Amino acid sequence: MDLDAPADAWYVYVAVAIVSVALAGLALGVSTGPPPDAERAATTIEGATTSEYPARATAEHDAETVTIDRRTITMENDHGTSHASVDYGVVVPVRGNERLENLSAGAAFKDEYAEALADGDRHAFDEFQQDVESAFDENSGRPIRADGDLRARQVTVDAAVDELDPVEEQLTIEVTEDWEPILSTVPDQIWDPEPYIGAMQVTYTGPEDRRATVHMDGEYRLSDILPDAVPTPAVPDPEPLDETAELAATDHGSASTVIRPRSDGQIDISLPRDFGRLRSSQPARDPIEFTVEATDPSGDLPSATGSGELEYADGSVEWTNEVERDMEFDHEHPAIGRNDGGNYYVTLVAV
């Protein structure tokens, strides 16, 4: 009779139990599913970017996070990680930008940028470009929590989809002072000149930092306003009038300066028969001719020129101009391309 057999059976039972538990633990640690299909995601994106016409494509996936870095897509879940590359174009992940997310889902550009399109001081394409560049910079190379659906869309936009309203610039030259000669006891019956331009206020209003250069030409009054009693040899030689003023619009839109045209030469003579002494510079002869050139140091706005004339009796004169505002865009950013028709395009992807 073998009394040791039951004891051996007990040890075998324990050993089998230990092995079974170990195998069960090993089984629990082994993946039971495949990693996400990054190749399928890349193919979906390429389906939108290689289309002859603006297109979008969607694909379901089981990734928990998706990382898009230019042309590379990485998808990850509990079962592993997969990588794939997009052969055409640079991809822009749009998480966090509502307008771009809506565009990726099929929304129309004119709807998402309706406010900018309706505002003559905003440019919709410029805002779109800023959105794209911001999304690219913020999301590229960053793991994004995925929602199970990948949406890819190539959006094509004409840079001339809207226009900025022109802005008006205005130059005003206003007579602000009469000319009053410096005299010493000259009776009115000897010399009583009519009023002439003594000072002018020049005001320019236009876009901030735009500059206006105003040049005034003419001549100064001499013998034609002197009393007949003044000997001809005492009259100074005629002098040309040549004045220039430069004004730059400030953040308030306006700038001004005052010009007092005076001859350099002075009349300083004694009148005969004890009528006194005449001392005076000379005022400008009507009319004063002016030219204006408006320029933009930044080069964003076109230059403009104008001309006119001013007489004392006019009181003031104005020059106005409408400045057309054209916006030109580059496509140096890696995410934005330009096709043969001059339109810009970008590939948006939401995960």
Top pLDDT among 37 and 209 is at 37
Taking only the tens place, the pLDDT of each residue in 66-101 is 999 999 999 999 999 999 999 888 999 999 999 999
Asked if residue 336 and residue 320 are part of one domain, the reply reads no
Establish if 65 belongs to a structural domain: yes
Do residues 302 and 287 share a domain? Answer: yes
Segment 214-242 mean pLDDT: 71
Please indicate, yes or no, whether residues 181 and 215 belong to a single structural domain of this protein: yes
Pairing mode, if any, of strands 344-350 and 91-93? parallel
Q: Are residues 152 and 193 in the same domain?
A: no
State residue 235's pLDDT score: 62
The model scores a pTM over 0.75: no
Answer whether residue 125 shows pLDDT above 50.
yes
Residue range of the domain that includes 255? 168-325
Cis amide linkage into residue 287, ω under 30° from 0: yes
pLDDT class of 209 with cuts at 50, 70, 90: confident
Give the integer Cα–Cα distance in Å for 141 and 204.
51
Could you tell me what percent of the chain has a pLDDT over 90?
52
Residue 24: pLDDT above 50?
no
Amino acid occupying residue 329: F
The verdict on 193 and 99 lying in the same domain is: no
Q: To the nearest whole number, what is the mean pLDDT of the chain? A: 83
**One domain for residues 280 and 217:** yes
Note whether 151 and 296 are same-domain residues. no
Phi and psi angles of residue 109, each rounded to the nearest 5 degrees, phi first: -60, -45
Let me know if residue 208 belongs to a domain: yes
User: Residue range 160-171: average pLDDT?
Assistant: 89
Residue 263 has pLDDT above 90, yes or no: no
- Do 119 and 255 fall within a single domain? no
- What amino acid is encoded at 177 in this protein? E
Residue 203 pLDDT exceeds 50:
yes
Task: Indicate whether 27 pLDDT > 70.
Answer: no
Round to whole Å and give the CA distance between 105 and 285: 72
